[in-house]
């Protein structure tokens, strides 16, 4: 355990010796401070970054999540990472890529912490929750080059932050690993990220070969939303009440009005637990 109670192997710049992946993170660019790891990864992608290239930062000044929302990114506390993917012409639709990333992140955390995080779950489509508070978020961005797709997958994971280090507006809804672990259970950010990349590589291989069907059972077993009352945000910002009843074959959420009317698909809207 290090003096700051961040655990061993906390320095993201020293990730290399901890990696067990074949591709992810083997080419790695680390920054003490960056606007956004996803923005930098997209720039690097355009300049020819190889498949699996990784961008990390100790702090982001313009971190962003889904739908352009700002992502809280204080220095030295969390993991901010983006990976370049060049899967070529995928053999299956990749619209549910964020679901595969979520499975990989969950599996990676479970590999590190075992049963120490019993409240770890996935919230469709792009969040990891711990005891129903947001632990991590996922942002996937794509562009096409002919018939081939190029991707950047970014994720932010709250690791070391104590409650008072969250902005007041986030405290009711956000959490970190530190808030659920004793000091002697904590693990450094680089060690965590190495485990995440290992599991993420496995899940992405399955996903690009077989689509959502290849990861469906692992996603559904961790999905907190299915069977729950939810609110679905409409394009005008209004929310409608519904019940999440399952997932379609492509990973879209299937919901139903509370009164039991016809079900409907939710493909990209925000979903809130009621």
Q: CA 57 to CA 35: how far, in whole Å?
A: 9
pLDDT band of residue 92 (cuts 50, 70, 90) is low
pLDDT band of residue 58 (cuts 50, 70, 90) is very high
Helix (H) or strand (E) holding 239: strand 239-247
Q: Is 51 exposed, middle or buried (0-12, 13-18, 19+ CB in 10 A)?
A: middle
Query: Would the pLDDT of 185 be above 80?
Result: yes
What is the value of pTM for the model shown? 0.92
List the single range of 1-15, 61-75, 230-244 with lowest mean pLDDT.
61-75
List the single range of 111-115, 168-172, 218-222 with lowest mean pLDDT.
168-172
Note whether 119 and 134 are within 8 A (CB).
Answer: no
At residue 44, the pLDDT reads 97
Q: Which two tokens stand for residue 227?
A: 């069977």
The CA-atom distances, in angstroms, between 59 and each of 41, 78, 140, 193, 206 are 15, 8, 20, 15, 32
In 175-264, which ranges are continuous DSSP H helix? 189-210, 216-222
At residue 234, the pLDDT reads 86
* Residue 74, number of CB atoms within 10 A of its CB: 16
Reported as a single tens digit per residue, the pLDDT across 94-117 is 789 999 999 999 999 999 999 999
Query: Would the pLDDT of 5 be above 70?
Result: no
Q: Is 120 exposed, middle or buried (0-12, 13-18, 19+ CB in 10 A)?
A: buried
Query: Would the pLDDT of 71 be above 60?
Result: no
Query: Would the pLDDT of 67 be above 70?
Result: no
Domains annotated on the chain, with CATH? 12-221 (3.30.930.10), 226-273 (2.30.30.100)
pLDDT band of residue 2 (cuts 50, 70, 90) is very low
At residue 63, the pLDDT reads 65
Task: For residue 121, report the phi and psi dihedrals to the nearest 5 degrees.
Answer: -155, 165
């Amino acid at each position: 355990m290090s003096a700051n109670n961040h655990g061993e192997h906390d320095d993201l710049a020293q990730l290399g010796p901890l990696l067990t992946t074949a591709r992810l993170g083997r080419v790695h660019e680390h920054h003490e401070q960056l606007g956004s790891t996803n923005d930098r990864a997209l720039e690097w992608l355009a300049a020819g970054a190889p498949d699996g290239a990784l961008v990390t930062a100790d702090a982001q000044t313009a971190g962003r999540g889904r739908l352009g929302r700002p992502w809280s990114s204080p220095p030295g506390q969390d993991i901010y990472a983006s990976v370049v993917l060049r899967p070529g012409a995928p053999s299956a639709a990749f619209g549910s890529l964020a679901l595969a990333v979520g499975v990989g992140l969950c599996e990676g955390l479970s590999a590190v912490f075992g049963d120490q995080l019993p409240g770890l779950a996935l919230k469709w489509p792009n969040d990891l929750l711990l005891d129903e508070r947001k632990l991590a978020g996922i942002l996937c961005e794509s562009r096409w080059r002919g018939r081939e797709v190029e991707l950047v997958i970014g994720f932010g994971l709250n690791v070391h932050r104590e409650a008072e280090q969250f902005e007041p507006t986030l405290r009711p809804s956000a959490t970190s690993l530190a808030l659920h672990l004793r000091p002697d259970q904590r693990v450094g950010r680089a060690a965590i990220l190495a485990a995440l990349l290992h599991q993420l590589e496995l899940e992405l291989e399955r996903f690009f070969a077989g689509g959502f069907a290849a990861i469906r059972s692992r996603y559904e077993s961790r999905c907190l939303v299915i069977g729950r009352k939810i609110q679905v945000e409409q394009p005008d910002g209004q929310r409608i009440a519904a019940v999440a009843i399952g997932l379609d074959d492509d990973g879209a959420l299937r919901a139903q009005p509370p009164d039991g009317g016809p079900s409907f698909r939710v493909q990209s809207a925000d979903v809130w637990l009621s």
